[in-house]
Structure 1
Amino acid sequence: MSKDTSLVGLDAILKELGSFGKYNIINYAFFLFPCFLAGMYGSVYVFEASDIDYRCRINECENINNTNIWLEYAIPKEKDRYSKCLRFSAIESDINSNSSCTVDAFDTSVAEKCTSYVYSDEDSAVKDFDLGCQNWKRTLIGTIHNSGLFLSLPLTGIISDRYGRKLALSVAALMNCIFGFLRSFSTNYIMMVAFEFLEAGFGAGAYTTAFVLAMELVGPKGRVFGNTLINVVYVCGLMSLAGLSWILQDWRTLLRVIYAPSCLVFSYLWILNESIRWLLSKGRHDEAVAILQKAAKMNNVELSDQALAPLQEMEKKPIEEKEEIDVEPKPSVFLQVIKSSIIIKRLLCCSFLWITCTFVYYGLSINSVSLAGNKYINFMLVAFIEIPANFTCLFVLDRFGRKKVMIIMYILSAILCISLSFLPKNQTWWSLIFYLSGKFSITVAYSSVYIYVSEVFPTNVRQSLLAVCSSTGRIGSTLAPLTPLLALYYDNLPSIFFGTLAVMAGLLVFTLPETINVPLPDSIEEAERLSKAKRRKPEDLP
């Protein structure tokens, strides 16, 4: 009996255990904690290096406390606000003392770039590291943070698939704690961005590992609800981030408060059980059976002999026979993936869907702090809209299928984002409604993609291929922090970019197979057959 055969029987066992018994609930509670923290870590740079008010330092006049006397003559206005980066040229012969800062002391026909700045009392790395009028440096902080995911997700995926989900989660969380905490002591810009990269580069995989553990804990009928729980907790992390930023008003203290708890997740190495599905894929049947029996006891369920039969047969086989089975020459799993044109095409499509989701999702979140009103409340609103979006996923994914939902939500998000450029500037409330609706749509699409990708790839490479999609998709989240720079040329240019990409993604979904009511594939062959698979009725599923 092969490993794949034993994996086939696991869905039947999970059905008898129940999707959310005591064992599942306790384990989910553990998985939700790093997901909550990930919600804060993924967007902390928005408040860590937020844009603040500042103006040119006019050395000739700064000793005059009443700026109303000279500011209008010293600094030009842009869109009814004093320019951040320009000042009028001083006429040296007319400035002999600070009391001479009048209209005659400046040449209002000549504007020049500032050499130094006066910052507001707001807290930001912009102020600490003197990043005035260097928007590219400010936005680059988020880009460098997200670029770390190109390293983290494949690295965590390899560790997870080779050495276990539990180890990958624990180590990634420890890296979050160490590098995130150290970043709060940054003494210069270079030190800050270096730790941004290292924290994400070695720790961002904690979320995807917790997600995979959660998906492998339940059968097909529990996946969507489990995914919804994880996403809602992630949103709570986002809202908590905005709330803590508002209360603390100190980015260094904020980093210490949110990163310290991540060290607790390292203890999962001794507390959590390993993924049963992963153990079976590695032929460690004794450990898998022991965990299943423990789960059954906690859930007050007695597993039938029929359900356990495949695993017990493998457990009872002589060691020689097991070794004989294990040493059968087989091509490597990754070689099988490369040779499968179906899997490769699917991998490319899913990667593009992920790029679109991250670009639009993070782009809308980041640009929300530039909307009119309180930036903390705006961020909370844009985050909060994800909660009804995730519950919408819960009701529509199992009813209408993954493909229909993704197509509709991508196209709807595109229409809403592009429509923002046609709204009059004085329609603040309508702009907010369209903005939130666009975030709602892309969140439903993002949640659908996350669960869809976990369903179309086989168990033995699921985390690795999910990591490939996720890390490739981070091209979107890496570029998203730069989108505020587009608004310098045209206010709604970022939204137009979001909408265009979403249309392309919606059309691409038509080429993918439906996975509703289909058991998780455990081998390359099963994954390939998804395109031809006949959907099973919900009552027949584990």
Structure 2
Amino acid sequence: MVEFGEILRTIGDFGLFQKILILLLAFPNFLLPIFFSSFLFIDSDPERHCDTAWILAAAPNLTRDDRLNLTLPREDDGSLSRCRMFVPVDWDLDAIRKYGLNATTTCRDGWVYGHTPYQSTIVTDFDLVCERSNMAEVSQTIFMTGMLAGSFVFGPGANSYGRRRTTQIPIVLLLAFSAAAGLAPNFAVYMASQFVVGAALGGYRINSVVLESESGALRSFWSFHSFASTEWIGISRRSLASCMSQLFSCLGQCTMAGLVYVVRDWRKAQYVMAGAQALVFVYIWWIPESARWLLGQGRTAEAKTLIRKVAAINKKEIQEDLLDEVVGEQKVQSGGFKTIFTSAVLVKHLLIISFAWFSLNLGYFCLVLNVGKFGLNIFLAQFLFGISEAPAHLLCIWVLEVLGRKKSLVSTLLMGGLVCLLTLAFPENSAVVVTVLVSVGKFFLNWAGSVAMVYIQELFPTTVRQTAVGLGSLAYRVAGLLSPLINMLAVYHRSVPIIIFSSLAVVSGALVLLLPETGRKELPDSADDAKANGTTTTEKTGSDFNYRKSTKL
């Protein structure tokens, strides 16, 4: 029986087809970070006072200062209250001046906002201040909860319905609900829209990678992950495709800073995002299915047709007898939760890689969601956050092949955790030093994320690859969900969140030492292949990348 890897090398494992596919699947990675802009770029405590226009009915010619002095109580430090007002009365101005106002209440008619860096944010539009000041963090949690739900719904579902379909549906949801969020008349509608956007984002990112790897392409924290791509690409370029997706994502983070700098109104920014997403909506229907998945489902005729098309695009020829041999002998394979949890080896792999994914994502999002609190200008800090990731993804392409998956993941997790811990050695007002260290720590954690996505796909067989990534992504998304809550612990001391996520990163890095190396090996097609991963290697010889398996002694 001929393995699919040999078929892939015959029709071209990184030809024109794979390059186009990478480009089409990578572009959404450029857009995905921007979906965070509505709750990242806010002034959480803007200058404000209660709207006390009621007094103008009695004295329409009052100056602003007189009006505020008459209608707002003073705080203990002598400043005018930003969250309370005097209870309105039906008196004339002379009576108000003579007797004064004593009874106070919360702001009945909303707030009047002073100078902010933005024209409009969710804080000022929905009055997320005073007793509702924690709602901005709640919106982050709702978004992360949606990403968790999306991973749970769209991840395992790809094994039954295919990589292609579970990648297309999230695109439709992203287009519809990103626009709906911008039109939200109140905070409840905004949160509901953001939940669906988060779910679509989680599903899209998890499914686009396998589509790329099985088909030949991507991966990223914020990226568009499609298994069909992982399952289309050859051994020599699998890490390149995945890391290129991450590169698009970091460029998207830089663009997010530029977009919000130019468009200071969050609703208009939502419409810009929806417009860009419409472009993806147009071409996503032409993304092909994973041939590996089709073969695994017994859909041999579709797989054969698709393989011929790929060969034609790559200007390669494939002998019919070779194609008939791999297709004719391919058995319909079933897999899922049962396949994983009946194998002690696969369970160990899943627990370790999921914990690593959880730890690095917890640290990553704790840093990302605090971008405005490191002392530097938020636009500059976000740009630095994005551009600092570019070397990580470029290095990842080379280092994954030189050091392998295990050493790469161990070293990046340890460095990320230790650098973040180092920020505690400097005072909080050292904005430049802290921002640099945080950017370096985020650099390593993001790098670890690129490695982890490649690694988890190579640890598990085709029959359960999407399920494994779905389960791993649940841990990944739980970390995102917990990150706003972990950041809230800074009210006790700024070091608490840093100690938590940094320590977890270091511990998970040590545990990764228990995993096998998967570099330069064919993707396993069955549970037995995955179990044998630690005892066989695939060596690369010659300039044309011929592969052979050799048993380790």
TM-score interval w.r.t. the shorter chain?
0.7 to 0.9
Deviation at 1:456, TM superposition (A): 0.6
Residue in 2 that maps onto 1:128:
125
Residue 200 of structure 1 pairs with residue 198 of structure 2: yes
Following the alignment from structure 1 to structure 2, what is the Cα–Cα distance between the partners of residues 275 and 331?
Answer: 16
* Partner AA of 2:311 in structure 1: A
RMSD across aligned positions (CA): 3.5
Residue in 2 that maps onto 1:13:
7
Residue 344 of structure 1 pairs with residue 347 of structure 2: yes
Residue in 2 that maps onto 1:276:
291
Residue 214 of structure 1 pairs with residue 208 of structure 2: no
Residue in 2 that maps onto 1:246:
261
Following the alignment from structure 2 to structure 1, what is the Cα–Cα distance between the partners of residues 546 and 326?
Answer: 26
Matches within 5 A, 1:117-516: 117-120=111-114, 121=116, 122=118, 123-133=120-130, 134-216=132-214, 217-268=232-283, 270-303=285-318, 305=319, 309-313=321-325, 333-516=336-519
Following the alignment from structure 2 to structure 1, what is the Cα–Cα distance between the partners of residues 390 and 505?
Answer: 21
TM-score where L is the length of structure 1: 0.84
C-alpha distance 213-445 of structure 1, shift in aligned 2 (>3 A)? same
* Candidates 30, 37, 51, aligned match of 1:36: 30
Residue 24 of structure 1 pairs with residue 18 of structure 2: yes
Q: Is the 8 A contact 1:417 1:438 kept in 2?
A: yes
Residue 529 of structure 1 pairs with residue 532 of structure 2: yes
Deviation at 1:266, TM superposition (A): 3.9
Residue in 2 that maps onto 1:53:
46
3-state DSSP of counterpart to 1:155 = helix
Following the alignment from structure 2 to structure 1, what is the Cα–Cα distance between the partners of residues 517 and 247?
Answer: 25
3-state DSSP of counterpart to 2:521 = coil
3-state DSSP of counterpart to 2:64 = coil
C-alpha distance 541-77 of structure 1, shift in aligned 2 (>3 A)? farther
Following the alignment from structure 1 to structure 2, what is the Cα–Cα distance between the partners of residues 418 and 403?
Answer: 23
Report sequence identity in percent: 26
Residue range with higher mean Cα deviation, 500-509 or 279-288: 279-288
Deviation at 1:165, TM superposition (A): 1.6
Deviation at 1:267, TM superposition (A): 4.2
Residue in 1 that maps onto 2:229:
none
Deviation at 1:385, TM superposition (A): 0.8
Deviation at 1:447, TM superposition (A): 0.9
Deviation at 1:55, TM superposition (A): 3.9
Deviation at 1:270, TM superposition (A): 4.2
Q: Is the 8 A contact 1:136 1:482 kept in 2?
A: no
* Partner AA of 1:180 in structure 2: S
Following the alignment from structure 1 to structure 2, what is the Cα–Cα distance between the partners of residues 86 and 309?
Answer: 78
Q: Is the 8 A contact 1:53 1:119 kept in 2?
A: yes
Long gaps (5+) in structure 2: 57-61, 215-231, 549-553
Q: Is the 8 A contact 1:34 1:206 kept in 2?
A: no
Following the alignment from structure 2 to structure 1, what is the Cα–Cα distance between the partners of residues 523 and 243?
Answer: 18
Following the alignment from structure 1 to structure 2, what is the Cα–Cα distance between the partners of residues 185 and 484?
Answer: 29
Deviation digits for residues 427-457 of structure 1 (CA, Å, limit 9, x no counterpart): 3322122111111111111111111111111
Residue range with higher mean Cα deviation, 262-271 or 388-397: 262-271
Deviation digits for residues 488-528 of structure 1 (CA, Å, limit 9, x no counterpart): 33234332222122122112212211111121111111112
Residue range with higher mean Cα deviation, 395-404 or 56-65: 56-65
Q: Is the 8 A contact 1:173 1:206 kept in 2?
A: yes
Residue in 1 that maps onto 2:217:
none
